[in-house]
Amino acid sequence: MGIHGLSKVIADNAPAALKEVPIKACFGRKVAVDASMSIYQFLIAVRQQDGMQLTNEAGETTSHLMGMLYRTIRMFENGIKPVYVFDGKPPDMKSNELKKRGVKREGAEKAAAAAEETGDTENFDKFSRRTVKVTKEHNDDCKKLLKLMGVPYIEAPCEAEAQCAILAKSGKVYAAGSEDMDTLTFGTPVLMRHLTFSEARKMPVVEIELAKVLEGLEMTMDQFIDMCILLGCDYCDSIKGIGPTRAVSLIKEHKNIETILEKLDSKKYPAPEDWPYQAARELFRAPNVTKAEELDVKWEAPDEEGVVAYLVGEKGFNEDRVRSAIQKLIKTRTGTTQGRLGDYFKPVEKPAGSTSAAKRKMDAKAASGSAKKKGGSFMKKK
DNA sequence: CCTCTCACTGGAGACGCG
DNA sequence: CCGCGTCC
DNA sequence: ACGTCCAGTGAGAG
């Protein structure tokens, strides 16, 4: 669930931290991506008309492999080298949150089963998407595919987002590529959003720079973490009646949650009972991660025959499609390491030249520029 | 009237053809 | 440049 | 053996 409302807080209070980056300027960048989150999205989205996932003849789901294969290749075509990070064991503090989600999913499972029985495809589709769960098999399938593709992956001991942040902090990758704002709370210096579908949807990549977030909010990192806890994180409740506006001003005035609890009118804004905000804070400050020095992150040549044997032989993919996909990977991969290594740390944003690609980018940018900037409204979710 | 919170909802991938 | 069906 | 996250809506409190 990330940090509740953080993206709006940043947009309102630290706009300078946000930068729209043409996808071209991302060429050569290495990025850490939360694998489980990607798989989850594929399992939800990659379906056929009847709401069923794609499967091979044996009935094994293939939606996640399809998504992983093509999205990864698309990133490579743009010169972006992903390293996938898999979740480990969730922290104990998350168990309350997880229990809530489990109960919800059970309800959805029942509703989906009922809809299936009565032949209500619309409702079956709707509810079955809410029953999606990434299993060990899904993860293992994707690890096998990535290995064959020559794309590195890491198994995090705990939260993938925290591991992504460490990789970026250490310089092993340029940024964490995620939609999940708590990657910033875990301390990634740069967060890249809308990375995966920027080309397909003409949505610009947005970079969020942590240093500028802190500058704009006039907070230290510790104050920022406390603010995130007040906004609402996965690890503990927040104070009822304190939303984005009050969270920002309370931290600015009192600097930390301890002082806020002293000064705040506890009749009006009672803190949750047995509120483990200090433990949550500790999870953000010092998360359980593997040290970056111990990790080996290398992109290798894809094993075309291996990929074909797996996807075509075992999973029923179309051979021509798989081979041409791998060819794209091989072509862009060698192109990347040969020519472009030089400009890989310069994020320069420039007006762009005269290529058709550049022109398309500018059009997309202009369109999105007029459609957005609408900062007044209030948005809420659950 | 304005500001804010909360609850509920829907939609979400990538490709290629016409 | 789209809308929409197909991928497995 | 878990797991989203945004954006739009409306109701209600202060």
Domain ranges of chain A: 6-217, 219-287
Average pLDDT estimate for A80-107: 81
State which residues between 84 and 123 of chain A bring their CB within 7 Å of strand B: none
Mean pLDDT score, A294-315:
97
Q: Rounded mean pLDDT of A8-32? A: 88
CA of A1 to C1' of D14 (A): 28
- Domain A219-287 in CATH 1.10.150.20? The answer is yes
* Span CA (A219) to C1' (B12), Å: 34
A147 touches strand D (CB under 7 A): no
Q: Is the CB of A66 under 7 A from strand B?
A: yes
Cβ of A268 near strand B (distance < 7 A): no
Per CA to C1' distance, which residue is closest to B11? A45
- Give the DSSP H/E element, type plus range, for residue A122: helix A121-129
Lowest mean pLDDT among A180-184, A283-287, A302-306, A372-376: A372-376
Return the higher-pLDDT residue of A309 and A14. A309
Residues in contact with strand C, defined as Cβ under 7 Å from any of its atoms? A 46-49, 54-56, 62, 66, 315-318, 321-322, 360, 363
Neighbours of A27 (CB within 10 A): 15
How far is the C-alpha of A28 from the C-alpha of A81, rounded, in Å?
Answer: 7
Q: Is the pLDDT of residue A379 over 60?
A: no
Report percent pLDDT > 90 for chain A: 51
Q: How many CB atoms lie within 10 A of CB A2?
A: 20
Higher pLDDT, A101 or A73: A73
Q: Quote the pLDDT of residue A100.
A: 65
Would you state the pLDDT for residue A347?
A: 34
Angle at CA A26, nearest 5°, toward A25 and A27?
Answer: 90
> How many Å does it take to go from CA A378 to C1' D8?
10
Confidence bin at A180 (pLDDT 50/70/90): confident
Query: Across residues A30-38, what is the average pLDDT?
Result: 93
Residue A263 pLDDT level (bands cut at 50, 70, 90): confident
Average pLDDT of chain A to the nearest whole number: 82
Chain B bases closer than 7 angstroms to a protein Cβ: 3-15
Nucleotide nearest residue A87, measured CA to C1': D3
Over the stretch A193-218, which tens digit does the pLDDT of each residue have? 888 766 666 677 889 999 999 999 99
Question: How confident is the model over A222-232, as a mean pLDDT?
Answer: 92
Which residues are registered as beta bridge partners of A205?
A21
A271 band by pLDDT with thresholds 50, 70 and 90: confident
Span CA (A240) to C1' (D12), Å: 15
The predicted pLDDT at position A343 comes to 37
DSSP state of A312: I
Query: Can you give the distance from the CA of residue A150 to the C1' of nucleotide B1 in angstroms?
Result: 61
For residue A192, list its beta bridge partners.
Answer: A177, A207
User: What digits encode the pLDDT tens for the residues A311-370?
Assistant: 999 999 999 999 999 999 999 887 644 333 333 333 323 233 333 333 333 333 333 333
Q: For A112-214, where are the E strands, in sequence order?
A: 153-155, 175-177, 190-193, 205-209
What is the C-alpha separation between A348 and A362, in angstroms, rounded?
Answer: 15
Q: Give residue A295's pLDDT.
A: 96
| Average pLDDT value for residue range A64-80 | 93
Instruction: State what percent of residues in chain A have pLDDT above 70.
Output: 83
Give nearest nucleotide to A77 (CA–C1'). Answer: B14
- Of the listed ranges A61-70, A248-257, A371-380, the one predicted with least confidence: A371-380
Distance from residue A83's CA to nucleotide B18's C1', rounded to whole Å: 37
Q: Which residue is nearest to nucleotide B9 (CA to C1')?
A: A381
CATH topology of domain A6-217: Rossmann fold (3.40.50)
In 3-state terms chain A splits into helix, strand, coil percentages (rounded to 5) of 55, 10, 35
